[in-house]
Amino acid sequence: MSIDILAIGLPALADQMLTQRATGLGWTLHRPGADGLPPPDVADRIVAIAASGAVRVDAALIDALPKLKIISVHAVGYDLTDVAHARSRGVIVTHTPDVLNADVADLALLLTLGTLRRLPAMDAYVRAGRWVSDGPPPLSRSATGLRYGLLGLGRIGQEIARRLTPFAASLAYHTRHAVADAPWPHVPDLIDLAGQVDVLIVIVPGGASTRGLVSAPVLEALGPNGVLINVARGEVVDQDALVVALTSGRLGGAGLDVFDDEPNVPQALIDSDRCVLTPHVASATVETRNAMAERMMANLQAVLAGQPPVTPIPD
């Protein structure tokens, strides 16, 4: 008897791994139709979903799959999966934490340094021949000796903090609960933290509890010399307020890997020379995407064999 799996929006590497191994595992892969659902005769047989973190797995889809046992999300963030509904149906939700910590932390650092040192603008300056025609470009800002703040100090946040330590004058963080044994000071109020730092790095989950957390007053507190870095989810930052703050000069700069309506980026951000933009690639290296795909597979295999999941989402 074949085991029917619905693959939704997986990145190429994960999709290939799933496709190549499916036959050997006795799995039959299916894809959703234009309406986002598999055909009804297939829907009745689906026992597992393998989904990118960028696709919505909502109550309607979960309810369309009566035999569903597991939703294996290929991402650390599972904010687009209706976890409460899955749980109410007894469906296990898994994700791929830890294996991407280093790469996401690296990109946070790259965006920080790239924004302060205006790396893309410097590269463009050389390529456009302006070094020859105009002489040396305007000065940028030193990253060493700045005050750094982290919104979020979980698995990835702590990796970022460790990378910043050699050149930060100070480092503090805001979370809802202080982290026991963390060597960095906890600031209970986010606006206070933003007012105390030069660079604020966002690394919290998306979803209802963090939507718009980086609000206009937070950006105001960060100020005209402040820099915002976001490697979490676009919705955590009030993007309209960010555009206004950047274009009015009330915020110094931004390094952004994530946006509200990906892959669409507001033209004002594209036109702004105060920001560095990347297309949601924090975990997008061969090594990390391989590790994430392996974790997605391991969760599917465990649950479909009646074993506990390897990396279930936390309660």
Concerning whether 233 is annotated as a catalytic residue, the answer is: yes
Question: Which residue in 203, 222, 237, 310 binds ligand A2R (CB under 6 A)?
Answer: 203
Q: Report the site for ligand A2R in 13-42 (rule: CB under 6 A).
A: none
Q: Whose Cβ is closer to ligand A2R: residue 137's or residue 154's?
A: 154
Cα distance between the two ends of the chain: 33
Concerning whether 262 is annotated as a catalytic residue, the answer is: yes
Q: Whose Cβ is closer to ligand A2R: residue 3's or residue 13's?
A: 13
Q: If binding is defined by CB under 6 A, does position 154 make contact with ligand A2R?
A: yes
Question: Which residue in 175, 230, 288, 311 binds ligand A2R (CB under 6 A)?
Answer: 175
Concerning whether 235 is annotated as a catalytic residue, the answer is: no
Q: Nearest residue by C-beta to ligand A2R?
A: 154
Q: If binding is defined by CB under 6 A, does position 234 make contact with ligand A2R?
A: no
Measured at the CA of 31, the angle between CA 27 and CA 32, to 5 degrees, comes to 135
Q: Whose Cβ is closer to ligand A2R: residue 115's or residue 311's?
A: 311
Q: If binding is defined by CB under 6 A, does position 91 make contact with ligand A2R?
A: no
Q: Whose Cβ is closer to ligand A2R: residue 57's or residue 156's?
A: 156
Instruction: Give residue 285's region: left, alpha or beta (phi > 0; psi -120 to 50).
Output: beta
Instruction: Give residue 313's region: left, alpha or beta (phi > 0; psi -120 to 50).
Output: beta
**Which amino acid would we find at residue 270?**
I
Residue found under tokens 């963030």:
77
Q: If binding is defined by CB under 6 A, does position 209 make contact with ligand A2R?
A: yes
Contacts of residue 106, Cβ cutoff 8 Å, sequence gap at least 6: 163
216-to-173, 190, 240 alpha-carbon distances in Å: 19, 12, 9
Q: Which residues bind ligand A2R (CB under 6 A)?
A: 76-77, 97, 104, 152-157, 174-177, 203-206, 209-210, 232-233
Active site residues: 233, 262, 280
